[in-house]
Amino acid sequence: MTPEKVNFDAYAANYDEALESALSVTGEDKNYFARRRAVITARVLAGLGCAPARMLDFGCGTGSATPFLFEHLPLAELVGTDPSLASLEVAAAQWNEFAARFVPIEKVPGLPGFDLAYCNGVFHHIAPAERAASVALVRDALGPGGRFAFWENNPWNPGTRWVMSRCEFDRDAVPIPPPAAARLLCDSGLEVERTSFHFYFPAALRSLRPIEAALGWVPLGGQYLILARRR
């Protein structure tokens, strides 16, 4: 249902190293970005009075976001899923101290409704013709009123494009502009509640980061977040 251009089984053992190498030009490591995404997602949801207990991490890879999602969201359970079985094995071994389990995508339709689905940098690896089916899978996994926190790399940011060109598994990816992502979610029956942009300044300009929240409407951040709700 979600074929990828890259065989991530081949990267399961060294995914972190490849990602760190690409991100090194920003002056930050992958944990900085994973933590900030969790903080931002939690802040946006809290502003809507949403306190998710059950979460689906769609395209979880090796589960590296898991500790940050549990730290900043009131989760009782997290289910991670990914096409890469080798990555799921790494995730299950590495994060077994959390109330998390990692399952193949084929098992997602049989799971009860989730309060929140989350993905980061997943859809640019999914063939464009398969993206609608992938969103439909996420939509159907949500309970009534459940939300989808859709994080993607912003192709309007030249720095993002540069980082992706340096990453072994991102070089041939097909980025999704924010309006196209919003249409994709809406066409699948989700209601877009808000779109915001994040990660404007590298570590060398960290003194400017306090103003990033005020810049969230400026479509030049390195990543964007679309929050959508199941009607």
If you write DSSP's letter for every residue of 58-87 in order, what string do you get?
ET-TT-TTHHHHHHHS--SEEEEEES-HHH
Predicted model pTM? 0.93
CATH 3.40.50.150 fits 8-230, yes or no: yes
Q: pLDDT band at 7, cuts 50/70/90?
A: low
Q: pLDDT band at 111, cuts 50/70/90?
A: very high
Mean pLDDT of the chain: 93
Q: pLDDT band at 3, cuts 50/70/90?
A: very low
Q: pLDDT band at 10, cuts 50/70/90?
A: low
Backbone angles phi, psi at 60, to 5 degrees: -70, -15
Residue 174 has pLDDT above 50, yes or no: yes
Compute the distance between CA of residue 86 and CA of residue 75 in angstroms, rounded to an integer. 25
pLDDT tens by residue, 118-147: 999 999 999 999 999 999 999 999 999 999
Cα–Cα distances in Å, from 184 out to 116, 131, 190? Answer: 18, 8, 9
pLDDT tens by residue, 22-33: 788 899 999 999
